[in-house]
């Protein structure tokens, strides 16, 4: 019985280590996955073609309505419009939400993330962008936790060890979850357009 328990425990530990290592080696999270602009600010952006037969006005209307619904869901508890210009077909939402790194029955390792989500519809395309990313980690601690900008936390320089071979334990998890969040938001926005063509 002891041998069986030991074998199962060793297998679980190996699987967890493999999953963590897989994330670090996955090109999705690897070097260059977190772009910075000429000022050193982290941003994520993607441009999509408007579906054939859909007008730019209709595309903008769908994107704006999607954002109003998406960023007022319970997990995005402080989504609000910072700027909206229907005539030039562009908007910026500010979003505060939680990202969960690990959750058990007794504890949760999580952080609040805030960012600006913008959309621009122009020349038969729509461009989505996430900027001004900040984390408020361990908010429940005395003093309210600390606020970290993405530039100090998830760039290639900050997320990897000195040799650049693996993620640092403290910052690597933020990089992975931020990239996952970006992928989800961009995919959901794309679906809001493609499902309504």
CA distance 87 to 196: 21
Domain residue extents for the chain: 27-194
Q: Are 190 and 56 in contact (CB under 8 A)?
A: no
pLDDT tens per residue, range 24-57: 567 899 999 999 999 999 999 999 999 999 999 9
Please tell me which residue, 161 or 5, carries the higher pLDDT value.
161
Q: Which CATH class is domain 27-194?
A: alpha beta
CA distance 92 to 123: 19
What predicted TM-score, i.e. pTM, was given to this entire model? 0.82
pLDDT tens per residue, range 94-113: 999 989 888 887 777 888 99
DSSP secondary structure code for residue 68 in this structure: H
């Amino acid at each position: 019985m002891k041998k069986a328990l030991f074998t199962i425990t060793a297998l679980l530990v190996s699987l967890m280590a493999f999953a963590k290592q897989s994330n670090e080696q996955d090109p999705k999270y690897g070097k260059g996955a977190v772009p910075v602009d000429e000022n050193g600010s982290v941003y994520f952006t993607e441009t999509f073609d408007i579906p054939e037969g859909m007008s730019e006005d209709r595309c903008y209307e769908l994107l704006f309505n999607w954002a109003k619904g998406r960023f007022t869901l319970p997990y995005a508890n402080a989504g609000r419009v910072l700027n909206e210009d229907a005539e030039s077909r562009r908007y910026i939402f500010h979003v505060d939400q939680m990202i969960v790194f690990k959750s058990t029955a007794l504890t949760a390792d999580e952080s609040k993330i805030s960012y600006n989500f913008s959309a621009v519809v122009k020349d038969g395309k729509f461009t989505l962008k996430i900027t001004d990313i900040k984390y408020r980690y361990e908010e429940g601690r005395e003093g309210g936790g600390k606020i970290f900008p993405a530039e100090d936390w998830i760039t290639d320089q900050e997320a990897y060890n000195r040799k650049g071979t693996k993620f640092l334990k403290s910052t690597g998890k933020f990089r992975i979850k931020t990239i996952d969040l970006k992928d989800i938001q961009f995919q959901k926005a794309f679906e809001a357009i493609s499902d309504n063509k």
